[in-house]
Chain A
Amino acid sequence: MSALDQARSIVEPTPFSRRLAAVVILVYALVSSIPLAWIVATSFKTPSDAIAYPPKLVFTPSLEGYVNLFTARTRQTPEYLASLPPPETWYEELVRKRNMVITGPSRFAGRYANSLIIGFGSTFFAVFLGTLAAYAFSRFRIPLKEDLLFFILSTRMFPPIAVAIPVYLMYRQLGLTDTQLGMIILYTAVNLSLSVWLLKGFIDEIPKEYEEAAMVDGYSRLQAFRKVVLPQAAAGIAATAIFCLIFAWNEYAFALLLTSGLAQTAPPFIPNIIGEGGLDWPAVAAGTTLFLLPVMIFTIILRRHLLRGITFGALRR
């Protein structure tokens, strides 16, 4: 074997460092998925299993949490229950065993729908407006450009909740409290600074020669933007959308303050699902599990873009 065969590039990781990296990542992944696994497991436990001590790692799965999450129930006397016709569905049967009857659907589905509408709605507007603004900041000579950009960023320099009371008073005046529109506007406003800054970085990286070529070739600026800039900014837009969605989806404080009924989102609703003698933990866990799904799916769909997105375009070429 010649020396050349043994030579190794210093930029290539050695097999040992590769294995070490794999172990570190595996441990990290394991640790961060424990809470998620716990929540999912709890959602399939019975209420007594959920609060058992020591915690039960092995248990008989039950859908009681999910049934409780989606239904409103009342407790009845055994005599009354006996007088009822036999249960027609599996979930009625499940509820009867606890001496209860289903009185109707719970408010969870509505809250969940609110979360979807407000989360995706505000993400759409933040990214849509952010893309246009970022394009303008990136390409045009705008008076006071640097100051405007700094001003936009400065809205991120305090915790959003610091403006909770002014926002609350303003919303009451405008009749925007507890409306989906109000929440979409609020989350859009908060996310816009992030989206303008992130997207400006991405658009700055797209050489302006592309649009200029298109414009000389017979396209208007807007057409060139759509045909040339948008496809190349797709990765950045996807990454920005994920960040915006995660914020809007998880936001708790404003949702708690500004919504109570019609427009309440899932985050303030889920922790307050009351069961027999306190919180109904399996139902809370079931709600949380379902709540995790959209962001997970959205992120997995856009995962390829996200990696490039969070490295801020460093890997683009």
Chain B
Amino acid sequence: MSTDIIPISRPLFALVDVNNFYVSCERAFNPDLVNQPVVVLSNNDGCAVARSNEVKALGVKMGTPWFQLKELAKQHGIVALSSNYTLYGDMSNRVMTILRDFSPHVEVYSIDECFLGLQGLGSLWPIPTGIGQTIRHRIRQWTTLPVCVGFGTTKTLAKLANHIAKKQPSFNGVCDLSTMPHEQFEAWLSTIEVGEVWGVGRQLSLHLNAAGIKTVQALRATPPAWLRAKFGVVMERLGYELRGISCLALEELSAPKKQIISSRSFGQLIDSLTELSESVASFTSSAAERLRRQNSVCNAIQVFIQTNPFREQDKQYSNCMTVPLPNASSDTRLLVRAALFGPKRIYRPGYAYKKAGVILTGIDSAAVHQESLFTLHGAGNRSAKLMSVLDQLNQRYGRETVAIFSVSKNKPWMMQQKNRTPCYTTNWQDVPIAYAH
């Protein structure tokens, strides 16, 4: 009698990451920007959240405020763009769709990063760098976006491999730590600072440095048990991950959020209750939309308002209030009605407000939540139908086409985005021009 033993393949992870994602998206539809120094600014055009390589070479750090950059920008012709999240979201979806062709196990880690689980796909892709180059080439061809791919036997190692691929041009955008000869592997890890390890923040890396652990190799050589005793179980896991023992599994399904925050600094300071209420209603609407997208309901809503703490010459005030809902709901009308109690109660005249926001809490799945005894039978259905129509209208004709509690056309609290590019891929009015002349 013979028994066929199926060999168990070892885990293999890839991390795919788009280089300078926001800038690369902008360049996709604007040939003028290629080889130009470009920065993308945060909400309200505050600070640089993405930099092209040319800007990085000028020594501009991530998060530098735009007003500090203006002089340098004039000197070097840096193009500054407002962030166009509609475009970035669409391009991100395209990248993730392409990646799903390479593996059924996909964890979308952020807007521009994605883990792939490749365990058991060895016969399809015998050499990791081979699939890496194919991924790079296909994403580049189909979307114009440049990506780097890192491979490792754990997610932490895949992330490090990606870091090496990005920093070392000799790797041609793909680094595989899983098949690298041992000496070479250790040599690379000794060149990388411990702060680059996934999950090691600035504070932790200071503590590690104090304990004499400066490089990734040093962290890897530290016994995991000691790490646990000194820093806790999360650090122990990192230790094991660096040793090639996978402790962090692929999270293919994102868990529904337990809290939804919608908040923004205003484009201008505002002082009237009407405008404040309007902004709160708008933030609540977008939070409610996100709540419905994950099929959840919430039972309380917290509203906060604040002045600008950086304007020391101004009187300062900030306050918040939690408004409970009689029944858990995701109906924008009910949520806005509840949220508007907030500014009504905590608003004080005579202050210049800079920021407001809402936080939905007590979030539960819409399927399991208990109906109230006193609601009309079927009212929930009608509300769900109305809300789905509302969402469809706003998706089709643009955000806030149908809004609740919207008074003025001119909204001083809206985001300041002076230099936003068109929504090339999601709005018929904005598609790029092809010249036939």
Note whether A and B form a binding pair. Answer: no
